[in-house]
Structure formats: C-alpha cells, structure tokens
Amino acid sequence: MNKFTLGVEEEFMVIDPVTRELISHDQKIVEGAQKIHEDQVKAEMHQAVVEVGTHICNNTDEARKEVSKLRLTVAQLAGDLGLRIGASGTHPFSHWQNQLITEHPRYNEIVNELQQAARSNLIFGLHVHVGIQSRELAIHIANQVRYFLPHVYALSTNSPFWVGRNTGYKSYRTKVFDKFPRTGIPDYFNSIEEYDNYIKMLVKTNCIDNAKKIWWDIRVHPFFETIEFRICDCPMLVDETMAFTALFQALCAKLYKLRLQNMKFITYTRALINENKWRAARYGIDGKMIDFGKEVEVNTRALILELLDFIDDVVDELGCRQDLQYIHKILEHGTGADRQLAIYEQRNSFEDVVDYITSQTLIGI
C-alpha cells in the first residue's frame, strides 16, 4: 500500500526591520541553522531568500511539527542578526535589481544562461512532495492531478504586489516565473518511459544538464520517489501550508484509490488547464473557473467545495481532516493576497503590509 509520505519546502524573505526591504543575510542564517538542522536549511539564488525543507514525514501531524520548528529556527536566527523573516510569494516593494546573487556554480550558470529572467526571479514558493513508490504510478497520478492544480493555487495566492505596485493579480509570483523555460502546467505523458525519453532528449541536446532544471508546477521528481507540487505561493500562515499539504496528499490518495477500482479522473489538455490557472492567478478564490466536464463557468469557491467532497473518502485514513478544515477559514477570511490587499487599502503603506506579513509568519507556532 502506498503511504503517501510528505516533504514540505518553504522559501522565506529575509527583511530589514527598519527599511522593510529585502536584505542579504550573507548566509549567516543558513550557517546557523545547519548547526541545528544539518541540511534542512539552504541558501537560494538570491541572498535575501532562505529555503527550509522537512524530513520525510508520515502524515500531516509530523509535517506540521517540522514546518513550525523550521519557521521558528530561521526566525530566531534572523532575530539574532537583527533581521526578520516573512512568508509571501513576492515582497511588496523591494526591487530585484538591488538584490545580491548567491555565489555558487549552479546559480552562476543559471544567471549566465537565463540573464535578466534569472536575476529578476525574486519569488518565494511552497513545494510539497508526496511519496509515490512506483514511477509508473507517479506519472499516472501527475497526469490527472494537473486538473486540480489551479484550485489549490487559487487558495494559496499570496503575491498581489511587485516592486511597489498593486499588480491587479492575486498571485503575481507565477507571472514572474513564467519567464523561465520549462515552467507552468506540464503536458500529458502516456508513460513514464515517454517522460524519461523527453528528459534524455533535453540532456543529450544540451537544453539541460539534469532533470532538476524542469521547473513545472508539478513534476515526477528526478531523484526522489515523489510527486512534487510547485504551483503554490509561499503561504503566510503555517495553517495554510498544512492545508495545502493535506490537500495534495489527499488528491494523490484519491486518484490512487480510483486506479485500484480500475477508474480514473478525466485528463484535460494543458491548454484548457492553463485557462483555469490564469483565472486563479488573476482572481484567487473570488473569480470563476471552468468546469470542463459541464463546459460552464462556476464560482471558484464552489469548485473548491466540490474538490473537498471529491477527496472526502480518503481523508480520515490519511489523518489529515483537521488540516483540511482550515480551507473553510481561507474561504471565509480570504487568501494571503486578499489580506495583504486589505491592509494596503486600510493604511496605504507597503511598509505596513510587510509588518503584517512578518507578524503572521510565526502565528500558531
């Protein structure tokens, strides 16, 4: 039986509490954290970013403890340096031009190849790994789960501002990332062999040196026995991170259960799924998405409630019902983007938005 183990990675902003700008921590947070958590805290391409990752967790309870512990550690280490951390898909006003790139052969190579697209890629995401033991099963689930990615993405929208402008999007982070090659919703693959042949072709023709340079919203991981969900903005609250983690885990378990019953969810083309992804980026949970089965527009909130019904029969077995309950709170109080926009409307100050983000990042820990 597949256990659907979990791994959660979050990317945080490092913030100067006086200017509220992004600031380089000169890898001191990473160095300090590695003494406590070994390789669970890493540098990212920009020096104002810290990435954390849990160990392999058996369920969402274990994952929650690790996510909380890692947030607390990097926040305390940042505090010791007179800095703060914040969880948002983009910084409300800091400009990427002012940010230093981490000195590392891999990052140098990416910047050299992708130029301004790489330098301006100052964004912060949530990556959730769900353990799938067989790669054949992984590609089967990845193909089908693509349809649901915009629904979860809408809930996670947390980047309405970019370089001091209200972008009009609930998630501008993916618009920034779209400039990279091999991003977005992946194509459908008929088999794991077809997927592997695609990778081999890219490596052979010098498009990539390894499969980690495939940055899709979901991928069968090149080195771990997981499906990696990469579409979400970094959530402000631990409760939100755990709700999306539970949702991805339950989706994989549900699609696996259907397969055992010799059934599967309908697969849709990338072109159609992209229509919903765009709507999620623009409107978050307050817009409409397309129900491709019925060929009609439906309120996004209604589709999210339908999604919760769809997975309901696997939730108790996984033990993640309590984490999923928080999705109702998001529908009630708004996404991270909605809350950032509300603060900005009240106070007309990007600095106040940054203070709000940093105050929320440690709530519930």
Chain segment 278-293, per-residue pLDDT in tens: 999 999 999 999 999 9
Residue 285 class from Cβ within 10 Å (0-12 exposed, 13-18 middle, 19+ buried)? Answer: buried
pLDDT tens per residue across span 42-101? 888 788 899 999 999 999 999 999 999 999 999 999 999 999 999 999 999 998 878 777
In a domain, 365, yes or no: no
Residue 262 has pLDDT above 90, yes or no: yes
Tokens of 281: 């980026």
pLDDT (mean) for 106-120: 78
Q: Say what the pLDDT of residue 1 is.
A: 55
In a domain, 177, yes or no: yes
Residue 1 lies in a domain: no
- Number of domains the chain is built from: 1
Provide the residue range defining the domain that includes 195. Answer: 6-360
Q: How far is CA 149 from CA 13, 117, 156, 332, in A?
A: 24, 24, 11, 21
Identify the band that residue 351 occupies on the pLDDT scale cut at 50, 70 and 90: very high
Domain at 79, CATH number: 3.30.590.20
**Those residues with Cβ within 8 angstroms of residue 287's Cβ, 6 or more apart along the chain or in another chain:** 154, 279, 280, 300
pLDDT of residue 226: 95
